[in-house]
Amino acid sequence: MKEKQNKRWGLKLLSVLCAFLVWLGVVNVADPVMTSTVEVPVEIVNGEVLEASGLTYEIIGKKTTTVSYEVKTTNAHRIRPADFRAYADMTDLWSVTGSIPVKVEVLNHSEYLLSAPVSRVSTIKIETEPLQKKRFDINVSYAGDLEEGYEAGDVVLSPDHLYVEGPESTIGQISSVGIEISLDGLTMDAEGTASPQFYDANGNKIVLDQRVEVDCESVSYSMPVLKVKSLLLDFEVSGQVADGYRFTGVECDVKSVPVIGLKSVLASLNTITIPGESLNLDGARTNMVRTIDINEYLPVGVSLAGTGRHEINVTLTVEQLKERVYTVEVNDASFTGENDDYIYRAEPDTVNIRIEALAEELDSLTLDSADIQVDVSSMGEGIHEAKVVLKLDLDRVYRVLDISSCSIQVMKVPEATESASSAGTAEETTAETSTGASETDDASGAQDGTEVSGTAASHETEESRRAEVHPAEESSSAQENR
């Protein structure tokens, strides 16, 4: 009995072993071991080693590696790329080739792996370049338009600058940094925040890569919206031009400029004065051009509106003076203070008046005898040197340089003229009386009467002329006494 029982236990053990072998075979056939791969990004560690040397790096080629691993088929779905970590330690950098070994470690589900995972890329290559840190002031640009009659004032930024650090080649592409503010429909002060934008030399936006670090992510701004007013330009000119020249005016292509400021400040302003020290023309002989920066003459709290030019060109016009001689006749219209007992005659009968002015002013000037004056009130009989005065009230643009003189001959009105006149009157009276007394008088009687009267008149005229004749010495003395 005992031998039979022992044989049964042996058969049972053999059956169990056969069953295990069968099960093992079935398992191996139904759930085989498989090799699978995942793409894992390569992480760079200890990068501060390069930063301490003032260098930065960039991975050349792929920035991922393929990780290979073995796993049972039934567990393959459990494995994810996140279960692995691929990294390259910068301390292992081979500077000659720029290569760093890639290492892989398992983060999760290591129990399902039948062997250590392996990176199919043994190394990655990097390229180094100098690291640069640079400061940029933050500028402001505008989008849209304000309501008519308004202008944006000075914007206050916080911060007003930022620092950018990264590869030298990338930092070198940045020309400016700024924020953009929308103006559409604004009539009141505006406040807000904006992200800084980076621009190249052509004003195009630049998208920075991950290697660039910026110490400012947003910028706060406040912007006043100001009223616009147009102010006239007032020019004060100082100095004296050279002799023989005259300053004739100011020419400028800009008559007024738009400015912005608080209403309370603009209320009392109508002009912008450019002072004389900026427009000096001492010794000038030709036109002088001065470039004026209007910003230098704006009152406190006022600035130019818009983005137009702030410099203007002012021309001080200078013209040469000309001389012209006017010949004017001296006649009765020129005398003042005449005595009816004398006759006045100028020798020569014209005078020359030399006047200085601009050519166009000289062209418009005419003079005649009534425009000059000779005072003869103190002149007696004889020849006198006379002073000719310009009686015409000339505009101050004319300058009288010289007036030639003349002599005035003064002669007494002859008395013979009065005697002859009296004789003629008496003759006419006698003829009329004779005619009225007798119409029958014969022609010879009338003729005798006329001859007598004529003889008497002639005798009287001769006596008058003789009375006016004086010896030379006497005339001379009389003239001196006069």
Predicted pLDDT of residue 19: 76
- Which residues partner with 290 through β-bridges? 314
| CB proximity list for 34: less than 8 A, separation 6 or greater | 70, 71, 72, 73, 76
Q: How long a stretch of residues is the chain?
A: 482
Task: Output the 3-class SS for the chain.
Answer: CHHHHHHHHHHHHHHHHHHHHHHHHHHHHHCCEEEEEEEEEEEEECCHHHHCCCEEEEEECCCEEEEEEEEEHHHHHHCCHHHEEEEEEHHHCECCCCEEEEEEEECCCHHHECCCCEECCCEEEEEEEEEEEEEEEEEEEEECCCCCCEEECCCEEECCEEEEEEEHHHHCCCCEEEEEEECCCCCCCEEEEECCEEECCCCCECCCCCCCEECCCCEEEEECEEEEEEEEEEECCECCCCCCEEEEEEEECCCEEEEEECHHHHCCCCEEEECHHHCECCCCCCCEEEEEEHHHHCCCCEEECCCCCCEEEEEEEEEECEEEEEEEECCHHHEECCCCCEEEEEECCEEEEEEEECHHHHHCCCCCHHHEEEECCCCCCEEEEECEEECCCCCCCCEEEEECCEEEEEEECCCHHHHHHHHHHHHHHHHHHHHHHCCCCCHHHHHHHHHHHHHHHHHHHHHHHHHHCCCHHHHHHHHHHC
pLDDT at 103 over 50: yes
pLDDT on residue 420: 47
* Orientation angle between helical segments 443-468 and 416-437, nearest 10 degrees: 160
Average pLDDT over residues 238-252: 94
**Which tokens go with 445?**
């009687």
Tell me the average pLDDT across 398-420: 83
Mean of pLDDT values over 366-373:
94
pLDDT at 7 over 80: no
Is the model's pLDDT at 455 over the cut of 50? no
- pLDDT, residue 307, reads 64
Angle at 179 between CA 175 and CA 181, to 5 degrees: 140
Can you say how many angstroms the Cα of residue 177 is from the centroid of all Cα atoms in its chain? 27
- Beta-ladder partners of 384: 408
Q: Using 50, 70 and 90 to split pLDDT, how confident is the model at 419?
A: very low
* pLDDT value at residue 6: 57
Strands 302-304, 335-336: pairing is: unpaired
Token digits for 313? 């060109």
Amino acid 336: pLDDT: 94
Q: If you average pLDDT over every residue of the chain, what do you get?
A: 81
- Token readout for 286 is 């030709």
**Half-sphere CA count of 332, side-chain side, radius 13 A:** 4
The arithmetic mean of pLDDT across residues 477-482, rounded, is 34
Split at pLDDT 50, 70, 90, the class of 382 is very high
- List the beta bridge partners of residue 35: 70
pLDDT attached to residue 145 = 84
Cβ atoms of 167 and 148 closer than 8 Å: no
